[in-house]
């Protein structure tokens, strides 16, 4: 119904998915092939020096015992961080060695993909460390008000969400792999075809 003084609404446009006009689709940007160099994993998982565990004071009063408990708690946090850094460094390096050769052949990784690939490996390592610590501490911990969910469950969920995004970006799942176009080889490729 037309109202005097108002402009009529434009008709709805129908948008079709795909390429119904069969027009040629532009290929993406072509980049020169590069070998990705593994990062120094110490930058992401630094060596943490752990001091010797504090010794309990003999004949201490309540105040000294309270201070000792605080020192032990700080030492335990440093020890857990050092163990997680060592574990994370090894896991990230192993993931890099496992994934980069496959992605180079499958998707044609280039130097611009270095940061994304590094972030993926760090994410895998951090998620593994979260899951390991959850196994050690348990899903339920003691909070200020009694038993509660371990906060690492939230951290693990966030890393898992980020990992899912990297898997989609890099083509590391069966569905996302189907969307990738393998890079064109420099030779005939007949000798190296595993399906011949």
Helix/strand/coil for 122: helix
Give the residue, 20 or 66, on which the prediction is more confident. 66
Place 19 in a pLDDT band, splitting at 50, 70 and 90.
Answer: low
Task: State the Cα–Cα distance between residues 196 and 48, nearest whole angstrom.
Answer: 51
Burial of 46-59, coded b for 16+ CB within 10 Å and e otherwise, reads eeeeeeeeeeeeee
* Residue closest to 122 by CA, chosen among 45, 36, 46: 45
Contact between residue 126 and residue 158 where contact means Cβ atoms under 8 Å apart: no
Q: What is the pLDDT of residues 111-151, one digit of tens each?
A: 888 999 999 999 999 999 999 999 998 999 888 888 999 99
**Percent of the chain, pLDDT > 70?**
75
In 45-196, DSSP assigns E strands to 140-143, 146-149
Checking DSSP bridges between strand 146-149 and strand 140-143, what pairing results, if any?
antiparallel
Share of the chain above pLDDT 90, in %: 48
* Tokens 């990230």 belong to residue: 92
- What's the angle, vertex CA 90, arms to CA 86 and CA 92, rounded to 5? 115
Structure confidence at residue 103 (pLDDT): 87
Residues 6+ apart with CB under 8 A from 173: 167
Q: Of 187, 188, 128, 185, which is closest to residue 160 (Cα–Cα)?
A: 128
DSSP state of 84: H
Nearest to 122 by CA among 44, 35, 43: 44
What counts of helices (H) and strands (E) characterise the chain? Answer: 4, 2
**Nearest CA-CA partner of 168 in 107, 125, 112, 115:** 107
**Spatial distance between the Cα atoms of 176 and 121, rounded to a whole number of angstroms:** 18
pLDDT digits (tens, 9 = 90+) for 155-166: 999 999 999 999
- Rounded alpha-carbon distances, angstroms, from residue 188 to 105, 122, 131, 184, 185: 15, 36, 45, 10, 7
- Which has more confidence, 34 or 188? 34
Confidence (pTM)? 0.73
**Average pLDDT of 11-21?**
58
Position 30 pLDDT exceeds 90? no
């Amino acid at each position: 119904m037309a109202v005097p003084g108002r402009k009529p609404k434009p008709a709805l446009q129908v948008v079709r998915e795909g390429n119904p006009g069969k027009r040629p689709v532009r290929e993406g940007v072509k980049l020169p092939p590069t070998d990705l160099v593994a990062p120094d994993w110490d930058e992401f998982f630094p060596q943490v020096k752990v001091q010797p565990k504090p010794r309990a004071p003999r004949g201490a009063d309540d105040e000294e015992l309270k201070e000792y408990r605080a020192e032990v708690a700080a030492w335990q946090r440093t020890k857990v961080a050092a163990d997680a850094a060592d574990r994370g460094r090894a896991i990230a390096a192993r993931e890099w060695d496992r994934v980069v050769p496959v992605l180079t052949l499958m998707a044609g990784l280039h130097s611009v993909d270095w940061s994304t690939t590094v972030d993926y490996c760090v994410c895998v390592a951090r998620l593994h460390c979260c899951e390991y610590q959850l196994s050690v501490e348990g899903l339920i911990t003691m909070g200020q008000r009694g038993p509660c969910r371990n906060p690492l469950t939230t951290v693990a969920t966030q890393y898992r969400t980020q990992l899912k995004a990297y898997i989609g970006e890099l083509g590391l799942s069966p569905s996302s792999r189907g969307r990738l176009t393998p890079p064109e080889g420099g030779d005939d490729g007949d000798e190296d075809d595993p399906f011949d």
